[in-house]
Each structure stands twice: as C-alpha cells, then as structure tokens.
Amino acid sequence: AQKVTQAQTEISVVEKEDVTLDCVYETRDTTYYLFWYKQPPSGELVFLIRRNSFDEQNEISGRYSWNFQKSTSSFNFTITASQVVDSAVYFCALSEGKTSYDKVIFGPGTSLSVIP
Amino acid sequence: ETGVTQSPTHLIKTRGQQVTLRCSSQSGHNTVSWYQQALGQGPQFIFQYYREEENGRGNFPPRFSGLQFPNYSSELNVNALELDDSALYLCASSSGTASLNTEAFFGQGTRLTVV
C-alpha cells in the first residue's frame, strides 16, 4: 500500500534559520514519483518539485533543496535562510508510475511558521 | 497564477442537498483531477477525467460524480450532502495520463460547508 508520512505536524523557526521538513514514503513499486507542494493560506497548492524513483540526485533551487534517499524511503526538503513568506503548509506526495491515472497520495502536511 | 479557476470560492449547503462545483482547466490541458481536503489534512484523490471520461477513482461513494466537457472543463457533483463533506475541494489540471512527467496545476479550491 502507498503511504506518505510527515511526522512533523507544526514547525516554528525564526527568520533566517534553516529548516528541514521530513517525508517518508511507502510503496511496493519500483517506478514512482515524489512531489512537494506548498499551500499558503490562500488555499492553492503550489508545485515545488517532482522527482522520479530512478533519479536520486539531490537538487538545489535557490533557497530550496531536496534530499532523496531510496535506502531510507525519504524525500526531505530544506529551506535555507527562511523568510516570513515561506510560512505555509507543505505537503509531500507520492504517485506510482504503473497506475493508469495520476492518483497522487498526499501526506498530512507540515505547517511551517517563520517568525520575524 | 496557474490558469486553473474554480467556482464558487465558498459555498454553504444544508445536509441532504446537492451541490455542483466547477473547474476550468489550464489551456492545453486535457486531464482534470478532483481532490477533497478536510481541515488539517492532506488532499485526498476523488477521481480523474481524461478526454471526457472518468479515468480513475479514489475511495469515495457513488454520490460523488463528475463530468468533463469538450473544452476539458469539469464539474464535481455531490448528492445527499453529509456534514463530513465539509472540506476544501481542489481541482488540478494536467496534460495526459500515465505520463507522470506532466505537472499538475491546482486551482484555489472551493470551500464547501455543510450545515
């Protein structure tokens, strides 16, 4: 069965601190995709990154970086030098490659508050 | 902005009533997925439409139904509303199915309250 776990329900950091959001997933498939989405108070889900199961290369995009480790089934997300605008709920998600439709399984989310 | 628009943004209905939510997909996208997001939880997949046909369904009862039109816009219909149907309903559009290299763009959602 597919499952996404985000153990951190809420995190508060002071502006300019680094913060890492944890994500652990479960799947039996060898082909799958992992995602991170950001949901600000407005409600719209904002796509941040997609990573397929064959590409374990870590990625950095500006202040954001992602650490994908298949050995531990983790796909962690780090924000460097956090800003108030980073305050939002962040969702990790999983989609299996062999399904005939793009069903995405979301984790419960981590609410990040960046305090000025 | 993603180009995906949902209407209405907020809605209040009475238990037992029926509701229709609408989604206009991004230009060039032929796939629409619907998600239900209860307060404090992650979105849950309801179903997906590809070229006007239902292409997959999550664990939702038949009173949740949908349509996709030739212009790829979509409707989500919920009959016999229950209090637990109160949630944010999100629509996502993408191009193609099973081609998971496509990125899904989400609308801002419809907040449904059932009283």
Between A91, A95, A108, which is nearest B100 by CB?
A95
pLDDT of residue B100: 47
Which tokens in the block code for residue A113?
A: 């508050």
CB-based contact B99:B30 (threshold 8 Å): no
Instruction: pLDDT band for B96, please (50, 70, 90 cuts).
Output: low
Instruction: pLDDT band for A101, please (50, 70, 90 cuts).
Output: low
Q: What is the mean pLDDT of residues B5-32?
A: 93
Q: Do B109 and A43 touch (CB under 8 A)?
A: yes
* Chain segment B21-50, per-residue pLDDT in tens: 999 988 888 889 999 999 999 999 999 998
Q: Closest Cα of chain A to B54: distance in Å?
A: 10
CB-based contact B73:B7 (threshold 8 Å): no
How far apart, in whole angstroms, are the C-alpha atoms of residue A31 and residue B14? 43
Degrees to nearest 5, angle at CA A64 with A72 and B96 = 75
- Flag whether residue B100 sits within 8 Å of chain A, measured between CB atoms: yes
How far apart, in whole angstroms, are the C-alpha atoms of residue B52 and residue A110? 35
pLDDT at A37 over 60: yes
CB-based contact B105:B65 (threshold 8 Å): no
Q: How far is CA B94 from CA A100, B27, B88, in A?
A: 14, 10, 20
CB-based contact A95:A37 (threshold 8 Å): no
Instruction: pLDDT band for A97, please (50, 70, 90 cuts).
Output: low
Between A43, A50, A105, which is nearest B108 by CB?
A43
Instruction: pLDDT band for A38, please (50, 70, 90 cuts).
Output: very high
CB-based contact A108:A7 (threshold 8 Å): no
CB-based contact B97:A102 (threshold 8 Å): yes
pLDDT of residue A2: 85
pLDDT at B90 over 50: yes
pLDDT of residue A44: 84
Q: What is the mean pLDDT of residues A48-72?
A: 88
Q: In chain A, what percentage of residues exceed pLDDT 70?
A: 95
Instruction: pLDDT band for A115, please (50, 70, 90 cuts).
Output: very high
